[in-house]
Amino acid sequence: MMKINKSKVFAVIMAGGKGERLWPLSTEERPKPLISLNGQQTLLEDTVQRLFPLLNAENVFVITDEKSAVQAREILMLPEENIIAEPCRRNTAPCIALAAALIRRKCEDATMIILPADHRITPVKRFQEDLIDCIEQAQNGTLTILGVTPDKPATGYGYINAGEKIGPGLYKVNAFKEKPDFETAQHYMMDGNYWWNCGIFVWQVKTITEAFRKYSPALYEKIEAWGAGRDYLKDFETCEKISIDYAIMEKADNVVVKQASFQWNDLGTLGALYEITMKDFHENAISSPGKIQLEESDRNLIFCDDETEIRLEKIENCAVIKSGKSLLITSKW
């Protein structure tokens, strides 16, 4: 395993999503990266912490919206200037183009790690080991992505079709697949060469810049201008709204996937929240500081961030989510 040059490795945490599927835990005022699921650290803080000591704090950037940037600067032990507020939402490709430009100002031969702010990843040691493998692979001029081996036929994730093996846990990418229907997801799982796209990328700044030049010339022009010092606040809103998958990854021919060795959950749905929450004898997942009474009730999710007393009688496969003055009650997610 290589010894990385920490001064040339940067991380960019994308924290601009609203997380609407987790309402009322996640709201416009408190988006998903800024919620806590354990009563302690926020998901954003967890994401930053799992990068240490692999990276230097001054090389960790967070890109988010203006409201969230204020809160992020209060809770994160990072230089204030590393918390970057996008003037508007333009999806992941413009976000990554901006990050590449700003990092290039600091280090032209930098390697970038791109990761979402709202995932649950364990254990951290394996995650960091996988990142080191990806950093090493990225030195070969590839666009490297982490792929998670599916443990169920999930229809809510995009998939990566892994091809020829080129190293330990490393494969060329044959294709990216959109979120499938259940039957297709079952086929992918049985095939064994289809992995979940978890949205974690590693590449050199010069490699992703060249990819933008080839496949997304308008954003390439932005990288060149912003990298040379132009103020991105003046023209960021003119960027096309497009994901990095559509803009670059599905078109590029130098994409490599690293099979993840860690456990991963994107926490994007109530079902995902149910999966990570401790269960009682009747498979009820409960997270609350208050009194919870369950009678003849099975396989429910109860999540409450205050001491409200909650009682369920003869209820199955439901979710009861309370946060502040908001309450959600829904059947099986």
SS in 3 state form for the chain? CCCCCHHHEEEEEECCCCCHHHCCCCCCCCCHHHCCCCCCCCHHHHHHHCCCCCCCHHHEEEEEEHHHHHHHHHHCCCCHHHEEEECCCCCHHHHHHHHHHHHHHHCCCCEEEEEECCCEEECHHHHHHHHHHHHHHHCCCCEEEEEECCCCCCCCCCEEEEEEEEECCEEEEEEEECCCCHHHHHHHHHHCCEEEEEEEEEEEHHHHHHHHHHHCHHHHHHHHHHHCCCCHHHCHHHCCCCCHHHHHHCCCCCEEEEECCCEEECCCCHHHHHHHCCECCCCCEEECCCCEEEECCECCEEEECCCCCEEEECCECEEEEEECCEEEEEECC
Amino acid letter, residue 30: R
Per-residue pLDDT of the chain (333 residues; tens, 9 = 90+): 457 899 999 999 999 876 677 899 888 888 889 988 876 899 999 999 999 999 999 999 999 999 999 999 999 999 999 999 999 999 999 999 999 999 999 999 999 999 999 999 999 999 999 999 999 999 999 999 999 999 999 998 999 999 999 999 999 999 999 999 999 999 999 999 999 999 999 999 999 999 999 999 999 999 999 999 999 999 999 999 999 999 999 999 999 999 999 999 988 889 888 988 999 999 999 999 999 999 999 999 999 988 999 999 999 999 999 998 999 999 966
Rounded distance, CA 315 to CA 142, Å?
51
Nearest to 175 by CA among 259, 244, 250: 250
pLDDT at res. 240: 95
**Sign, Cα dihedral of 322, 292, 276, 283:** negative
The reported pLDDT for the residue numbered 160 is 98
pLDDT of residue 42: 93
Write out the two tokens for 318. 């439901």
Give the other-Cβ count within 10 Å of 85's Cβ: 17
pLDDT of residue 30: 85
pTM (2 d.p.): 0.92
Contact 285, 274 (CB under 8 A): yes
- Burial class from Cβ neighbours inside 10 Å (0-12, 13-18, 19+) for residue 1 reads exposed
Largest interatomic CA distance in the chain: 65
The pLDDT score that the predictor gives to residue 259 is: 98
Residue 4: the pLDDT is 81
Look at residues 283, 330, 331, 326 and name the one whose alpha carbon lies nearest to residue 30: 326
Question: Can you give the pLDDT at residue 29?
Answer: 82
Q: List phi, psi (to 5°) of 242.
A: -155, 145
